[in-house]
Copies of this chain bind each other. A is one copy, B any other.
Amino acid sequence: MLVRGDRTYLVEPGGEQGTDLGVLEVPEDVQPGETIETHLGDEFQVRRLRGPDLFHHFERTGAPMVPRDIGLVIGETGIARGDRVLDTGTGTGVLAASMARAGASVVSYERDPGFADVARENMKLGGVADAVDVRTDDLTEHVGDLEDSSFDVLTLDTGDAPSLVAHAPALLVEGGFVAVYSPFVESTREVVETARDVGLSNVRTRETIQREMQFDDRGSRPSTAPVGHTGYLTIARNV
């Protein structure tokens, strides 16, 4: 990331970025803490990219998952180094990139070819192009081709999540997790019922309500403008 005051750009090493202060050429071996000048001589600081930056700087093909919900998926499934994750739909790719940044290898399905292209670019910007394999395809049609017990975690954020949950026991290693994000009660219920039917354990759905606190001279209180509903998160385990 390149930063100058309020100006921030996400550029991959070796890339080039036009700005209102001139063009920035970023060396392949750029390091955080260095300074790069535009061709007009204005200095930008090189900053290491962090997860929440993905949310703000990835090119969007829809509303990306917010850092809080990415954290909940990572926390509840325990995403870590060495994990093999099957993910769909990719969308903007913030979840896939975040899991890759935490050490996972991710296979991520996105039906829309244009979205998939953007997601692949985003993976390069996020420095995880080698760890995320974005496939332009409908996972529902290919789920039978995937090897049994070849994933540690399955993350689903599509309308057909219920039918995919049915494959979780075959796809996941023993002890693996499936995490499903669904905005509506009805689709969440279908996910839960399928998870129970196919024998997954510890099936639970949580909704998360967050409120920002305000601290000013008058006192402390929850914000009068709270954070809204984003979705229901269902977690189940293959045990």
Contact surface of A with B, Cβ cutoff 8 Å = 1, 3, 32-33, 45, 47-48, 50-54, 67-81, 98, 101-103, 149, 152, 173-177, 183-189, 192-193, 204-213, 215, 218-230, 232, 239
Chain B hits for A225, CB < 8 A: 228
The reply to whether B213 and A207 form a contact with Cβ atoms under 8 Å apart is yes
Q: Are A173 and B75 in contact (CB under 8 A)?
A: no
Pick from B47, B75, B220, B227: contact of A67, CB under 8 Å: B75
Question: Roughly how many angstroms separate A44 CA and B174 CA in the complex, as a whole number?
Answer: 13
Separation in Å of the A132 CB from the closest CB of chain B? Answer: 13
Q: What are the nearest 6 A-B pairs in CB distance?
A: A71-B75, A51-B78, A184-B219, A80-B101, A102-B102, A224-B228
Give Cα A75 to B75, complex, Å: 8
Q: List residues of chain B with CB within 8 A of the CB of A48.
A: 152, 173, 175
Whether B76 pairs with A101 at a CB distance below 8 angstroms is no
Which chain B residues border A54 with CB–CB below 8 Å?
A: 78
Task: Report 10 cross-chain contacts, Cβ distance below 8 Å, ordered by A residue.
Answer: A32-B173, A52-B75, A78-B98, A81-B102, A183-B218, A185-B220, A204-B212, A206-B213, A211-B229, A224-B229
Known: A74-B102, A75-B70, A80-B101. A212 touches B221 (CB 8 A): no
Give the chain B neighbours of A79 by CB distance below 8 A: 51, 102
The CB with the most chain B CB atoms within 10 A, among A1, A45, A210, is that of: A210
> Across the two chains, which residue of chain B brings its CB closest to A183?
B221
Partner of A206, one of B152, B187, B212: B212
Instruction: Kindly list chain B residues whose C-beta atoms are within 8 Å of the C-beta of A187.
Output: 219
Nearest B residue (CB) for A203: B215
Nearest residue, chain B, Cβ from A186: B219
New contact pairs (17) apart from A33-B149, A51-B80, A186-B219, CB-CB < 8 Å: A48-B173, A48-B175, A50-B78, A51-B78, A54-B78, A68-B75, A79-B102, A80-B98, A81-B101, A184-B219, A188-B220, A192-B215, A205-B212, A206-B212, A209-B210, A226-B226, A226-B228
